Amino acid sequence: MFAQGRAVQEFIASIESAIIAATGLEPGSFSLESPRKAELGDFAFPCFLLAKRDKGNPAQIAGKLAEQLNASLEGIQATATGPYINFQIDRSDLARSLLGSIRSQGALYGNSEEGRGQTVVIDLSSPNIAKPMSVGHLRSTVIGAAIQRLHDALGYQTVGINHIGDWGSQFGKLVAAVDRWGGEVDLESDPIKALLELYVRYHNEEATDPSLQDAARAAFQELESGKEGHVRAVWRRLTELSMQEFQRTYERLHVHFDEIRGESFYEDHLGPIIERIVQSGVTEESEGALIVSLKEFGENVPPCLLRKSDGTTLYATRDLAAAFHRWELYHFARCLYVVGGDQRLHFQQLKYVLQRMGVEWEPKVEHIAFGMMRLPEGKMSTRKGQVVFLEDVLDRAVAEAAKIIAEKNPELANSAEVAEQVGVGAVIFNDLKRERVKDIEFVWSEVLSFEGDTGPYVQYTHARLLSILTKADAGAIDAAPDWSALADSAGLLLTLGQFPGVIRKAATHAEPSEVTQYLLGLAREINSWIAANRVLGQAPGVMAARLQLADAARIVLHKGLALLGVSAPESM
Ligand code: ARG
């Protein structure tokens, strides 16, 4: 019979090899499906293609093949139903092998080695200094960090890079604004808000006072010249003040970066990269500027601007430098840019320039786009002051969590810590809940709801399992299990068995919502299972089997939340 630790994947593999042996089909040329109804079995194999190949009747072929398969399969029952063969894993075998496998692997369940030796670069978060990190930046940070953890679980070497926006003509404006009005604001106590104020004021006054435009341009030119003077000193101070602020938020989100390489990092690369692009023969001069025409990709595709007529570089120039730098350092299998869908054209242009240059790794560069975060009153805009500040969102969510905990569980010892875990978890989970390309309307009451399809609901389910497990007598879980007590629990077992596949697909698609949706479904299944199956106070064998299932389910919820960056408090 089956060895301990044989997980669902291995049942599938043995069904597939039995089919291959009996039919001569090519491995990989077919895959098992889910039966129409769960009662029919765990997996189904349609015989239509086989019937076509052998010019026979599908139902007859299914009948004969099922007989053959039953002779070779152990612990799996094959039944022909019309043109389908349905397979059912022996319930005791399923429970013993799957629960054994999950519980022995613990937090490592779902991991694999398939990415060994390959590097994945993830460009994430990347806020702009001197501006507040808005809930819009939250998306890149939490989506990017989840994508990184998913690849980590599959054994890839991953490099998370925060491509801070710390370069560009706006810093000319900021330095000029600080010079002019810096004395009128308090840069120390709330630097980001003060800088935003200065920036907005400069932006407004420059419309009527052209000398402001000149001053800003001169400041950026000086910055790009590399001169170690006053402009650079002010710019450096702005960067430091901003980074300190961002760091606070990253700590609350439990996100860290392998590299913080702002756009300024590429300063010394810009000359050489422009030279390299020129050498490849794809550039032209246009009104004093250096461009790469992209007309061949469509009449409406605008050219990529590499250098303006005043000699300064652009966002795209710095991204081209970064792409080459990353390739040379890491020889990545994937280079993922987790950036809003509003920058689609920018990344399309980046890829087109690489294509024109004949760069062979261009297909490995992927823009992982996500939808915009909208307020019910319209699109967020820093300039119009229509933003939701990320810190305020987190604070408000935590305050709300604290209120609910005080109501529902006033005895809770570490309630402040749990409120932070639940509040921050709710915000992260909400952001990862829907397919990433979809726009999100940021509705307070939805983000903060602790019922329905929310992070706190999954956290609560995890805590509920843990409470059952800790109430059981010591050693109860280790009694000889009576697996027949899980005869009705195959659906939940199979869902637990799907977890490794969910991780693999979510990583391939760079789509953390596949994990959130899986966890929501799993949590619902667990709660109905708890309602239908008494765990405590049963005969020892029954109790052991059910405790093992509760333990495996707890492990999967905990791991799934961890992949998303959401904590799982022990009680709440
Ligand atoms: N700082 C940019 C912004 O906030 C995002 C940068 C994304 N990463 C990149 N390599 N372009 O719009």
Q: What is the pLDDT of residue 191?
A: 87
Token pair in block for residue 24: 């001569």
Instruction: Encode pLDDT of 136-174 as tens digits.
Output: 788 999 999 999 999 999 999 999 999 999 998 889 999
For a mutational test of ligand 1's pocket, the pick from 125, 161, 163, i.e. the residue with the most ligand atoms closer than 8 A to its C-beta, is 163
Q: Which atom in ligand 1 lies closest to the alpha carbon of residue 315?
A: 11
State in Å: Cα 127 to ligand 1 middle: 7
Q: Where, residue-wise, is CATH 1.10.730.10 in the chain?
A: 390-564
Instruction: Encode pLDDT of 79-109 as tens digits.
Output: 999 999 999 999 999 999 999 999 999 999 9
Measured from CB, residues less than 6 Å from any atom of ligand 1 are 123, 126-128, 163, 165, 319, 322, 337, 339
Q: What is the pLDDT of residue 78?
A: 97
Contact 175, 129 (CB under 8 A): no
What is the identity of the amino acid at 80? Answer: A
Q: What is the pLDDT of residue 4?
A: 32
State in Å: Cα 264 to ligand 1 middle: 13
Query: How many Å apart are CA 84 and CA 435, to the nearest integer?
Result: 33
Contact 338, 124 (CB under 8 A): yes
Q: Is the pLDDT of residue 378 over 80?
A: no
Q: Does CATH place domain 390-564 in 1.20.1080.10?
A: no
State in Å: Cα 126 to ligand 1 middle: 5
CA atoms within 13 A on the CB side of 188: 1
What are the C-alpha distances in Å from 283 to residues 286, 291, 362, 542?
10, 6, 18, 74
Token pair in block for residue 382: 């820093």
Q: Which of 156-167 are b and which e, b meaning 16 or more Cβ less than 10 Å from the residue's Cβ?
A: bbbbbbbbbbbb
For the domain bounded by 124-379, which CATH number is listed?
3.40.50.620
Q: Where, residue-wise, is CATH 3.30.1360.70 in the chain?
A: 8-89
State in Å: Cα 340 to ligand 1 middle: 9
Mean of pLDDT values over 509-526: 98
State in Å: Cα 59 to ligand 1 middle: 57
Which one is predicted more confidently, 67 or 384? Answer: 67
Q: Which atom in ligand 1 lies closest to the alpha carbon of residue 164?
A: 1
For a mutational test of ligand 1's pocket, the pick from 137, 138, 339, 368, i.e. the residue with the most ligand atoms closer than 8 A to its C-beta, is 339
Q: Which atom in ligand 1 lies closest to the alpha carbon of residue 346?
A: 11
Q: Percent of the chain, pLDDT > 70?
A: 96
State in Å: Cα 163 to ligand 1 middle: 6
Side by side, which strands form the sheet with 334-340? 259-260, 157-162, 119-123, 334-340, 365-370
Please provide residue 304's backbone torsions phi and psi, each rounded to the nearest 5 degrees.
-90, 125
Which residue's CA lies nearest to atom 5 of ligand 1? 126
Q: What is the pLDDT of residue 380?
A: 58
Question: In the CATH scheme, what is the homologous superfamily, with its name and number, of domain 8-89?
Answer: Arginyl tRNA synthetase N-terminal domain (3.30.1360.70)
Nearest to 163 by CA among 293, 305, 343: 343
Instruction: Encode pLDDT of 347-363 as tens digits.
Output: 999 999 999 999 999 99
Which residue's CA lies nearest to atom 6 of ligand 1? 126
Q: Percent of the chain, pLDDT > 90?
A: 82
Instruction: Encode pLDDT of 185-210 as tens digits.
Output: 888 888 888 998 999 999 999 999 99
Confidence of residue 6 (pLDDT cuts 50, 70, 90): very low
Instruction: Encode pLDDT of 442-473 as tens digits.
Output: 777 777 777 789 999 999 999 999 999 999 99
In sequence order, the 6+-apart residues with CB closer than 8 A to the CB of 554 are 462, 465, 466, 469
Query: How many Å apart are CA 400 and CA 396, to the nearest integer?
Result: 6
Residue 266: how many other CB atoms lie within 10 Å: 21
Which residue's CA lies nearest to atom 4 of ligand 1? 127
Token pair in block for residue 438: 């979809």
What's the mean pLDDT when you consider all of the chain? 92
State in Å: Cα 160 to ligand 1 middle: 14
Instruction: Encode pLDDT of 414-446 as tens digits.
Output: 999 999 999 999 999 999 999 999 998 877 777
Mean of pLDDT values over 326-342: 97
Q: Which atom in ligand 1 lies closest to the alpha carbon of residue 137?
A: 4
Instruction: Encode pLDDT of 253-301 as tens digits.
Output: 999 999 999 999 999 999 999 999 999 999 999 999 999 999 999 999 9
- Dihedral sign of CA atoms 204, 208, 213, 215 in order: negative
